[in-house]
Structure 1
Amino acid sequence: MKDTLADLAALGGTPEFSRFLQVGTPSVGDRSRLFDRLNTAMDNEWLTNGALVREFEERIADLAGVRHCVATCNGTLALQLLYMATGLSGEVVMPAMTYVATAHAARVLGLTPVFCDVDPVTGCLDPEQVEAAVTPRTSGIVGVHLWGRPGRADELEKVAARHGLTLTFDAAHALGSSFQGRRVGGFGSAEVFSFHATKVVNCFEGGAVVTDDDGLAQELRVLRTFGITADGRSVGIGTNAKMTEASAAMGLTSLDAFGETVRHNRANHARYRSALRGVDGLSVVDFDEQEDPNWQYVILKIDEAVTGIHRDLMIEVLTAENAGARRYFSPACHQLEPYRSERPTSLPHTERLAEQVVALPTGPAVSPTDIDRICHIVRLAISHGPELTDRLRRRAAPPSTAGSGT
């Protein structure tokens, strides 16, 4: 354990960890089962549009409590297909506190993302702010279940109904989670999951749209395969968004481990929360234990005014120790190009949250001892916040050229 600031790797000490701890270490599951599935696909000489994808879709639909799952090669294309299939046009209201893919998937289709402020407690869309953002050009609302914590989906459904708008959700983080006893997946017209390598279930890379709408599911399947129906008829424009059998094999194997992964994540979250309890200016974002969260992320909020150290400097400290903390999400979408220049927007709750949050390493590869060591470093940094800030900034400052002449 490090005792003084001089021990910190950011100030010249030895890194605490010999291996790099990640946010979202992949949940691989039983490798032998994965290889069995891959061998079956290769023995069958059927590497796409096959039985493994269909099985994966059935299991995801069951977990989400819906009738249909349309698997895709990644979550961004799942979003694009959903925007296309629901016929969105003009403006789409969405939070800026999300990964930029939520907005880019709309923008690439010619839609205009209209960024809306969030509830400062949940980080999810504030329904009152959404209502105020609706104009005659608005066709849809895209909610985001931030860090797997569902927002006020019921109220967003009411706003959408009042204005005749399509409501969909980017549920990239929220597989297996619930809101008011309902599984994420059945809210709005449809919801999108991500199976990126860092997610609680991964397909190496993958995504899916889930829905109870039979017609929408059929439209998504056609769009996913170049606009060609199952019987080979070309009925319109589409793209190639199919999931491969290899990705489905990984997804099924990761799904096999889902229960154990969630239990491990929950224990990690509790360990972080306990180890950092009582530190002024720090708080671990909590989940509603009356619901059924997947505990995928451990999000720490750092108030620089109290701790004397900015979130970015804390990330620098932890990363130097091989504890790969990350900003999640910062800058927010409205602070990024092209949106910042095209439609300057002030979202105070979003901006404050984006400035404070950091995701800490968790997942099956992170042990209780790892967490204790990470939290000890965080506590050490906070206990010397102003001094550490000064030393890091002086170290990063370029050397003075005063008096050097030319």
Structure 2
Amino acid sequence: MKRALTDLAVFGGPAAFLRPLLVGMPTVGDRARFLARLEWALDNEWLTNGGPLATELEGRIADITGVRYCVATCNATAALQLVLRASGVTGQVIMPSLTFAATPHSASWIGLEPVFCDVDPVTGCLDPARVAELITPATGAIVGVHLWGRAAPVTELEKLAAEHGVKLFFDAAHAFGCTSGDRPIGGFGNAEVFSFHATKTVMSFEGGAVTTDDGELAEQLVALRSFGIDRNKSVTAVGMNAKMSECSAAMGLTSLDAFGETRERNRENHALYRSELSGVPGIEVLPFDESERNNHQYVILLTDHAVTGLHRDRLQTLLQAEKVFPQLYFSPPCHLMPAYRTDPPLRLEHTERLSERVLALPTGPSVSFEDIRRVSSIIRLAAERGEQIDAMWAGAVPA
């Protein structure tokens, strides 16, 4: 009888005593400050419907992103739905497939058709040349994604949208506190959408926001997130309930207070991963553009099966056996998910190639330098023994 690969002492013994390391550990900040804000909200007896804490958070986000308006929501999926609906988008929405399912879901859920586009093989962001090929009279909007904190090609996409008279939005769920050129992400296109989910650098348990310089759009969003009720208390449109509660805003403000420290720790963690894994054949930790500001939340490892002899999914399983839980960002890509897969399936060469190589590694203030050295040692050993591990996987090791 053959032993399971995860039973083998490949990495020096059992990992039962180790603390699990996950991608997206919550950044709480000063717990006492959060509780003080929450107590204040309870004493104030204004717990939702655009309360003072949510309004304060909107103001701070607008300042950081350099825009005139910010509209906070219960989550980023609702935020993207609202901005598409408020902008009157119809028909097709061009977007990358290398993104979280919420991006196409937001369009599909309100009756729009996602049109998946291939990406730049280096950045993983929308390829403007491929976008141009997909624009038709049915195109209502383009949604770019700032992937892993790296800005989409905003200038090229803005030019395309203007030439063809279509709306342009950005899914900035990965990119709070990042820049494109000398401008903060948040003010590009017609509007941008941020996520403050518990896994993000700034989190509000669940939460999102739309940032824009369009005052009319912002006013429509405020109404639509609250059942379509306008400033005169009239229901003038078919809206939804997408408001941010004061509890979430209290968490968001407290997490935002810690953002500078969190970003610096993420930067240090990323640099250590790069150093520890430098020169390992078939393994690369993606660098950041040093000329840009980044939140450094995403430590993206690219694997090359042809060099290591070890498939990315097997490396993931080995790490999980050692209580390290990386994420596949994003595999399968959206166009190959059952919800969107066509027959025959759409082929997006660069998207599919990247999606088979990416592992996002744990980082954040709760991940220690010792943790990173341990994770890196596992990856190094796995890369060095790729063919041996592949043979084990095939059941070639006798009991």
State the TM-score, normalizing by the size of structure 1: 0.94
Count of residue pairs the alignment pairs up: 392
* Distance apart, 1:393 and its partner CA: 3.7
Identity %: 58
Where 2:297 maps in the other structure, the secondary structure is: coil
CA distance in 1, matches of 2:209, 2:299: 24
CA deviation after TM superposition for structure 1 residue 326, in Å: 1.2
Match of 1:186 in 2: 187
Residue pair 1:10, 1:320 contacting (<8 A) in 2 also? no
> In structure 2, what residue type is equivalent to 1:31?
R
Pairing of 1:393-404 with structure 2 (within 5 A): 393-394=394-395
Task: State the match for 1:33 in structure 2.
Answer: 33
Q: Within 5 Å, which residues of 2 pair with 1:132-171? A: 132-171=133-172
Distance 2:17 2:271 in 1: 21
Note the C-alpha offset of 1:344. 2.9
Aligned to 2:371: 370
**Paired position in structure 1 for 2:42:** 42
Q: Return 5+ residue gaps in structure 1 as ranges.
A: 397-406
1-structure distance, mates of 2:344, 2:39: 51
The aligned counterpart of 2:215 is 214
**Structure 2 unaligned spans of 5+:** none
Contact 1:326/1:358 (8 A) holds in 2: yes
Alignment partners' CA distance in 2, 1:370 and 1:103:
35
Equivalent-residue separation in structure 2 for 1:25 and 1:9 (angstroms): 28
Q: Map 1:311-322 to 2 at 5 A.
A: 311-322=312-323
SS in 1 for 2:324: coil
The one-letter code sitting in structure 2 at the alignment partner of 1:29 is G
Q: What SS does the aligned partner of 2:201 have?
A: coil
**Which moves more between the two structures, 168-177 or 15-24?**
15-24
Is the Cα contact below 8 Å between 1:93 and 1:138 reproduced in 2?
yes
Shift of 1:7: 9.0
Indicate if the aligned counterparts of 1:93 and 1:133 stay in contact, CA closer than 8 A. yes
**Amino acid corresponding to residue 204 of structure 2 in structure 1:** C
Matches within 5 A, 1:44-59: 44-49=44-49, 50-59=51-60
The match for 2:354 is 353
Equivalent position of 2:129 in the other structure: 128
* Secondary structure in 2 matching 1:115: strand
For the Cα contact (< 8 Å) 1:9–1:320, is it kept in 2? no
Cα distance in structure 1, aligned partners of 2:367 and 2:166: 43
Aligned to 1:399: none
Pairing 1:235-274 to 2, within 5 Å after superposition: 235-274=236-275
Q: Which residue of 2 aligns with 1:304?
A: 305
Contact 2:24 2:200 in 1 (8 A): yes
Please give the alpha-carbon distance, in whole angstroms, between the structure 2 residues aligned to 1:272 and 1:215: 45
Structure 1 residues 77-112: Cα deviation after superposition (integer angstroms, max 9, x where no partner): 001001101111111100000001000110011111
Provide the TM-score with structure 2 as the length reference. 0.95
CA distance in 1, matches of 2:355, 2:343: 20
Which amino acid in 2 is paired with 1:279?
A: V
The corresponding residue for 2:24 is 24
2:342 corresponds to which letter in structure 1?
A: S
